Amino acid sequence: MMTLTQKFQIYPSKIQEKLLREFSESLRLLYNHALYERIFFYENYNSSITHFG
């Protein structure tokens, strides 16, 4: 059997924890904006957005 994942527990400092939270928030906002654009495009043009333009 192949191991496909590994789990690591990290113990970040307070500064690292803050940076990880900020980075996570940025990724969440980016994902939600991209999702909004896909939904908007589909509702208005009845077509989905592709990666190729």
Residue type, 34: A
pLDDT in tens, 5-37: 999 999 999 999 999 999 999 999 999 999 999
pLDDT score of 51: 67
pLDDT score of 53: 53
- 3-state secondary structure string, 3-53? CCCCCCCCCCCHHHHHHHHHHHHHHHHHHHHHHHHHHHHHHHHCCCCCCCC
- pLDDT-based confidence at residue 2 (cuts at 50, 70, 90): confident
pLDDT in tens, 37-53: 999 989 998 888 776 65
